[in-house]
Amino acid sequence: MRMYDILKNKREGGVLEYDEIKFFIDGYVTGEIPDYQAAAFLMAAFLRGLTMEETVMLTQCMKESGDIIDLTSIPGTKVDKHSTGGVGDKTSIVLAPLVAAAGIPVAKMSGRGLGHTGGTIDKLESIPGFRAELGTAEFIDAVIRTGVAITGQTGNIAPGDKKLYALRDVTATVDSIPLIASSIMSKKLAAGADCILLDVKVGSGAFMKNIEEAVELANTMVYIGNSSGRSTMAIISDMSQPLGNAVGNALEVREAIDTIKGEGPEDFSMLCRELGAVMLMLGKKAEDLEQGRQMIEHLVSSGRAAEKFREFVMVQGGNPKVLEKPEEILPRSKKQLEITAKTSGYITGLDAEKVGAAAMMLGAGRAKKEDAVDPAVGIVVEKKLGDAVEKGERIAVLHVNRTENLERAVRLTERAVSISERAQNKPELIRRIIK
């Protein structure tokens, strides 16, 4: 078998066999296939497309290129959740202990933030003492003991995807739904859960800007998961504005704590309830969405979810007092700067991508992988789409530690906000549910 023949076949619109895709992925991981041939494969796949079956096979080959986490020693049906990324998206911090409190084990691998989107691991590490990098045995033991653990991705999970992902970034082949779906699902399948819930974001702050692309991506990933023997569902949720109010690591943890106590922002609390209800369905604890919603409400109102959060934080080395005293335990910025309305009217635009980029400029995120993150800084948005506002009224607060890039962050935050005389309908938070 020759890589030349595989490339020629795909260039001419042919359909690849499993053995051909495996030959490519295995050879690329070992270094036998060079970057220039891998780049040619990506461009051919980008231009000619991949069939659904080719996409499933590519996913399987990337999954099998490295370690596969064995969770069979953990009793029960393990449910995982993945978000395609957004601004202010701290749902995993709430959902993991919340679903675990219902008796469903959650063994979750999460990533760090890059660009305008935040990362769950960075957020959790703003809790003093919290250890987010666990070895596999320690990770599994934590789930057996408490029902929940969140760790960073190990270095050898889907290395085929890791190499291809880096190459896609420099070869203009990122915007391919088969390549995006196989990248995400290869890591999810290797993480070992029995069931997978996908939160596919759509809007200005999401990778998928329109609903048609989001639906196609969700359908593709659900098909991959179900074809691979994992019960998989997807929710398409709005990311035209930041989720909740807080954008920034410690700020988002504090909002997550409020939410798990039943005191969080309306939109974020609703999304957690809906995602949690689907996870309970996947884990066979709820027969339908309505029963799942009721169970989630009870877990929050009874305090069981908050207690599981405390246990989760403590087992991973974090200070459990963060549940009662987040304002004392979590890092805080040195100063705050208000953004006020230039005119009276209604909020008709709150660009999530601009808000996320502004928070990154303050130090809440990374422009490059090697950048350091300041856990204390970020932005709290106090007005959302559809809200009335008076001239001079506060719209957002920037939490600041350094003046570098501050003027740019202020201008970008101001540009994110549009105010009009007439109110518009608030965006629908849950756009689709896909099975």
Give the active site residues: 82, 161, 168, 183, 187
The C-alpha atoms of residue 326 and residue 264 are separated, in whole angstroms, by 14
Opening angle at CA 81, ends 166 and 374, nearest 5: 60
Is 106:99 a contact under the CB 8 Å cutoff? yes
Q: How deeply is 137 buried, as exposed, middle or buried, from its count of CB atoms within 10 A (0-12, 13-18, 19+)?
A: exposed
Amino acid at 35: D
Which of 403, 410, 402 minimizes the C-alpha distance to 376?
A: 402
The C-alpha atoms of residue 356 and residue 428 are separated, in whole angstroms, by 21
Is 10:44 a contact under the CB 8 Å cutoff? yes
Which of 215, 218, 191, 221 minimizes the C-alpha distance to 80?
A: 191
Amino acid at 378: G
H/E run at residue 407: helix 406-416
Structure tokens at 388: 């009335």
Phi-psi region of 211 (alpha: psi -120 to 50; beta: other; left: phi over 0): alpha
The C-alpha atoms of residue 412 and residue 357 are separated, in whole angstroms, by 8
The C-alpha atoms of residue 91 and residue 268 are separated, in whole angstroms, by 8
Q: What are phi and psi of 244, to 5 degrees?
A: 75, -150
Quickly list DSSP for 213-268.
HHHHHHHHHHHHHHHTT-EEEEEEEE-SS-SSSEESHHHHHHHHHHHHTT-S-HHH
Structure tokens at 252: 């988002």
